[in-house]
Amino acid sequence: MSAFVAQFANVVNEIRTKISVLPYRADESSAIELTGLWDTGAQFSVITPRVAELLKLEAVDLKKAYTANGWYETPVYRLDAILPCGMRVAGLRVSTGDLMVCDMLIGMDIIKHGDMQLTNSPNTSFAFRIPSQGNVPFDA
């Protein structure tokens, strides 16, 4: 099991952490570090076109994606992600999108492999562990 905790100075409206990405099955020396936004509303992870260009990724598919602005067609790439705890999630199929506050949306294709906990008192603390270990207990 691998885990990490992100502590924030105050209560925040979004969870952003560092995440590294690299081409699928590539050596970790080719990884680049990004800012990732954790998004449970995203079925799949999304990178910016700039990230795809930096990694020299080649599209493996084309798909329709949906955002608040409607449908658009996007290339699909395969890559691996390395979480802040050092755990590698391999073989992700990610699309591209115009992301304003981050380089990558970390979607449910990654989140579903682990457990997450969020607390907001007195400030925001976010924890994630992978693989999933079952229920995270709360005091009643």
Mean confidence (pLDDT) of the chain: 93
pTM score, whole prediction: 0.91
Phi and psi torsions of 50, nearest 5°: -60, -40
**pLDDT of 112 higher than 90:** yes
| Tens of pLDDT, residues 70-87 | 787 999 999 999 999 999
Q: What is the dihedral of CA 104, 87, 4, 112, to 10 degrees?
A: 70
Of the chain, the percentage scoring pLDDT greater than 70 comes to: 98
Q: What is the pLDDT of residues 3-42, one digit of tens each?
A: 999 999 999 999 999 999 999 999 999 999 999 999 999 9
